[in-house]
A and B are shown apart, each in its own frame.
Chain A
Amino acid sequence: MGALDFMKIASRNKRRTFLLVLSLILILYFIGRFLDYTFSGGGFYTLLALAIALFQSLISYYVGDKIVLASVRAREPNLSDYEERQFVNVVQELSIAAGIPTPKCYIIDDPSPNAFATGRDPKHASVCATTGLLKLLNREELEGVIGHELSHIKNRDILTMTMVAVLVGAIVIIADLLRFQLYFGGARRRRDREGGGELIALLILFLIVIFASIIGRLMALAISRAREYMADAGSVAITRNPLALASALEKIANYSRPMQVSDAVSHLFISDPKKRGLSEKDSLWANLWSTHPPIRKRIAILKQMAGLSA
């Protein structure tokens, strides 16, 4: 992982994020058209949908990191606590090594060991760790995990991942709003045109289901498991210590209780906080749909880097 590799991945991420925003706008545009057609809104819904898409893209670009941090209830570290101070120290040390500005540090009070990075570029970035992670890992292992998060920052993975988190989160809200419209708007029309409302309601429900699956697919495409492998390699390039990261992942894998976080942000974490079974499978299906690679495979690759056979 030389500087050029980081730059190549970074520009690919910028491109992908742009495509993501574009597809969001398109999807919302078609939904707007559809609503206009069914409720004869005369262009009102299309305009509304486009405004929402634009607003959302801007929000998720500029304050996406703050939304993500607030949704996981992250707080600032307490420097008189030994472990939290160590965390802040490690972040500062490794950002010198990685040649990026020091990101902001945050803590989640959760016993499950995990960490993530968010933000839009290295100048506006944050690293967040759970108290469980700080308790469970020794200094070297923590360095491995932070190295992984700093690579996500250097790669601009954080931009794509944060925008996906906020956009997907917002789409869940929009889906709820649609359902709302269905109950009230639909009920009113049922009195006007008997029976027609039922059909429209079914159609819209059908649409929501298709819509959700398209979004899920988009998310998997944008995230892809490759990102995590690349960030592991990037971590080793910074710390020169593949075995420490391997042992950190081992400890994280052995902790089986899932975290209480929203589905919209789970792909940000170094290891699947939901502890889904799919994350640990290596089939074509799992590769397509899962955002996290099997932790055992990551450990094996790291051990290979250290010259040990797994």
Chain B
Amino acid sequence: MTLKIVIIVVSLIFLFVLFAYNTLVKWRMRVKEAFSQLDVQLKRRHDLIPNLVETVKGYMKHERELLERITELRSRAMNASNLKEKGEIEGSLSDNIKKLLILVENYPDLKASENFKILQEEMISTENRIAYARQFFNDTVRHYNTLCQVFPINIIANLFGFKLAEFLEFPEERESVEIKF
């Protein structure tokens, strides 16, 4: 009788460990995938920036400083070593590009150029993709981190050395509109 109970308890524990471990692995994988999706979009932006600067340079003579800052931030972002640094640089890159896209309104010649119109669309699209991919990445990280910390999964996480994932935080988060259903 006691043996039976012991066997049942042990196999239940084993099943739980199996389940918890697999769930943790699955979500760690998802964090990785979400990050590479985000990274693709950041790279896309890095690729677009030289073209953007080259196109607007001739028109926007008064914004030289801004253009230089964008170029510099781009090269720093490409060499960023950790996620915290990456977040700070990419975040201010986003802010500066937004500034540039707003300033374009003052240059009707530039706005009228068909070549620039498509480039501008690409920039807007890239900014949106980065925003959405970052949101998706951070949501995934949040879910994974919660899994790692709730009892009793945290025991398994500690046992097998699952580390908490880092968020990609941009400086000065703007408030998003809350929608209620």
Contacts and interface: CB of A to CB of B under 8 A. Distances in A.
Interface of A: 1, 80, 82, 85-86, 89-90, 92-94, 96-97, 99, 139, 233, 236-237, 240-242, 305-306
B125 A82 contact: no
B85 interface: no
Given A82-B117, A305-B179, A92 B124 contact: no
Contacts of B125: 86, 89-90, 92-93
A97 B132 contact: yes
B179 A96 contact: no
B176 interface: yes
Task: Kindly state the interface size class of chain B when it binds its partner.
Answer: 20 to 34
Nearest to A143: B128
A136 B145 CA distance: 44
Interface in B30-83: 37, 41
A233 B181 contact: yes
A226 to B, nearest CB: 15
- The 5 A-B residue pairs with the shortest CB-CB distance, nearest first, are A89-B125, A97-B132, A96-B132, A93-B128, A93-B129
A82 B181 CA distance: 35
Main secondary structure of the interface of A (DSSP, over half): helix
Interface of B: 37, 41, 114, 117-118, 121-122, 124-125, 128-129, 132-133, 135-136, 176-177, 179-181
A12 to B, nearest CB: 19
B129 A96 contact: yes
A99 B181 contact: no
A94 to B, nearest CB: 8
A96 B118 CA distance: 21
B179 A242 contact: yes
A306 B177 CA distance: 9
B174 to A, nearest CB: 12
A85 B121 contact: yes
Given A82-B117, A92-B129, 12 more contacts: A1-B181, A89-B121, A89-B124, A89-B125, A90-B125, A97-B132, A97-B136, A99-B136, A237-B179, A240-B177, A242-B179, A305-B180
B118 A82 contact: yes
